[in-house]
Amino acid sequence: METKTIPVVGMACAGCAANVERHLNQLEGVASAAVNFAARTALVSYDPKTISLQQMKEAILKAGFDLVVEEDRSVEEIEKNAFRQLRRRVVVSWILALLAMSISMGWISMPNDNIRNQTLFIIALANLVYCGHSFFANALRLLRHGETNMDTLVALSTAVSFLFSAYVTFAPLTHQPSTLNHQPFYDASIMIITFVLTGRLMETRAKNGASSAIRQLMGLAPKTARLVNGDELNLVPISTIQPGDIIEIRTGEKAPVDGIVSKVCNEAPSGAVGGATSSPLIMDESMMTGEPLSDPKQMGDRIFCGTIVRQGQGRYMAQQVGEQTMLAQMIRMVQQAQGSKAPVQRIADRVASIFVPTILCLSLVTFLAWWLLGGEQQLPRAILSAVSVLVIACPCALGLATPTALMVGIGKAAQKGILVKDATALEHLRQTSAIIFDKTGTLTTPTGSVSGGSAAATSQEVLKPHTREAIQSLKDRGIAVHMMSGDKEERAAHWAHEAGIDHYSSQALPQDKEDLVRRLQSEGHHVAMIGDGINDTQALAAADVSIAMGKGTDVAMDVAQVTLMGSDLRTITDAIDLSKRTTRMIRQNLFWAFIYNIVCIPLAAGVPYLFGYNWQITPILASALMAFSSVSVVLNSLRLKLR
């Protein structure tokens, strides 16, 4: 099985995401698919022997959407073009809306009502054809597959209001008898499109801010590298770099690939042979470890793609290139995490999947109630009320509530050097009530001395900086802290005391660590396990939340749901606090999204009239409120970036 994050084009609401997800999950060879409306991506696990990406694309194209699976198609360029087109349509729609408003309000005088209505007809038609054509195209395409989404609601509401207004305008001109004596409401069809498009424009800009962490990570890798070829230096695209190539880096430059230092040299002319240096090679590795500067690089030390040379000059041998670099893996992990779904999202997904059909039924009931109870004189109000219900009930806010908060939260964690593999981990971190630390490599780091050209056996298994502070911070939050060590009792007791840990176990084997996890869980604790070695993987797999150290073994990092790229254990409390804030934000978003619809749909249907209040939400106000609800959810999520 392979897992890929695939960009999706053409989604307009949570209903669209549900449709794409359903079609993908129905394909043979697809084990699971989760579509993130906010990120415009699909996280797909599939068997490449059974189904190809191109076959997935063809199936989704038939459903009215598109997957970007071609290497020569730039998602960024597609999004930029779509944004430019959307912005152009918004500008034109506002011009037409202001023109229509000026005519309706009498600011632009017309010879008579017929001329005024016919002019408004032309303006509204132009708005529908140019600015709103995508709503109708998407709605018809989905209708052929028996599906609906937000575009269905917009297309139906604008079509109904426009056609009714057109009939009122032109019926008298046919000299056919008509009892209609109503005013057209072209303004409604124009302003619905204007506000919906404006909302989508603002929503797109806000969502770009939510996904800025990914773009920042992508921007860390340089486009070119200085390749050492004998005595020559050639500037080449990084795509041409192969493992074993020698790369030279200088002050202010970014490392283009991962590798091992092969030479540290003075700031000398290109190609000069360097020896000992008075200007050590200092790298800014904050994007990897969260710590601003590393120790001076020596022969054999690791260099990571995207890290910056703050001082000195050196050469290193490329080892991991392209998609194999640590930076590429970080980007892939963050993308997959942002594309995954938190458990709370399932509620919103179930609601969104039946939302549009339910609203269509409510709109029809609203229309029939007004018309049948009020007669022909209430026909305009019946239509306006039905249109208002269609417009106000946009499921976009519901669909954006969870993924936007997750995107911002996971991106914020990545900026702090905390890599979260999936949304479930971010949601579960806040529930942690007990945490187990492995000792060596997690709480402590061994230091050795070099003597006579060989590594001495003496070492001093040293407590990492800020460890006591981190442990105390966890205890202050009411979290029980345990330490597991393979050391004998005396050494284990010493390090537990140094770290400020009350509960510890000595001479612990891998099974002992797992047993402790199971015991704490049986006592009702939500357990997090932190380790860095192969001997920790059993416990990591059993824990409710598993955390690995970035400098640990690949096996531990593969098992873990969260990876700490640096050695500062205070980031654990950062991760827990961020989990709490993100979950709180999700609940706020879902609450307001639900409340918005629960309150506004009855107001749009005209329920206040039943209680003697001569007021209801009009289609124009409905479109403005709908756009505001979606944008407000995204903006609320962006508050996570401020802390």
Specify the amino acid at residue 3: T
Structure-token pair, residue 178: 């008509």
> Which candidate, 154, 97, 150, 103, places its Cα nearest to that of 127?
97
Q: What is the dihedral of CA 278, 279, 281, 282, to 10 degrees?
A: 130
Strand partners of residue 483? 437, 504
Contact present, 125 and 132 (Cβ < 8 Å): no
Strand partners of residue 459? 448
Specify the amino acid at residue 597: N
d(CA 83, CA 81): 5
DSSP 508: -
Structure-token pair, residue 334: 């963050």
d(CA 85, CA 235): 37
Contact present, 626 and 388 (Cβ < 8 Å): no
Contact present, 281 and 261 (Cβ < 8 Å): yes
d(CA 597, CA 593): 7
Helix axes 113-126, 75-104, angle to 10 degrees: 180
d(CA 381, CA 618): 10
d(CA 122, CA 93): 13
Is the Cα torsion angle 188, 190, 196, 202 positive or negative in sign? negative
> Which candidate, 84, 18, 70, 29, places its Cα nearest to that of 354?
18
Catalytic-labelled residue, pool 187, 258, 438, 536: 438
> Which candidate, 370, 340, 379, 476, places its Cα nearest to that of 171?
379
For the beta carbon of residue 163, count every other beta carbon within 10 angstroms.
Answer: 12
Contact present, 137 and 149 (Cβ < 8 Å): no
Contact present, 117 and 110 (Cβ < 8 Å): no
436 backbone dihedrals φ, ψ, rounded to 5°? -115, 130
Q: Which residue has the tokens 């402590």?
A: 444
Contact present, 93 and 193 (Cβ < 8 Å): yes
Q: What residues have CB less than 8 Å from 111, skipping those under 6 apart?
A: none
DSSP 254: B
302-303 sheet: strands from edge to edge: 232-237, 224-229, 246-250, 313-320, 258-265, 302-303
Q: Residue 454: which region, alpha, beta or left (left: phi > 0; alpha: psi -120 to 50)?
A: beta
Helix axes 345-374, 14-25, angle to 10 degrees: 120
Q: Can 438 be counted among the known catalytic residues?
A: yes
Residues annotated as catalytic are 438
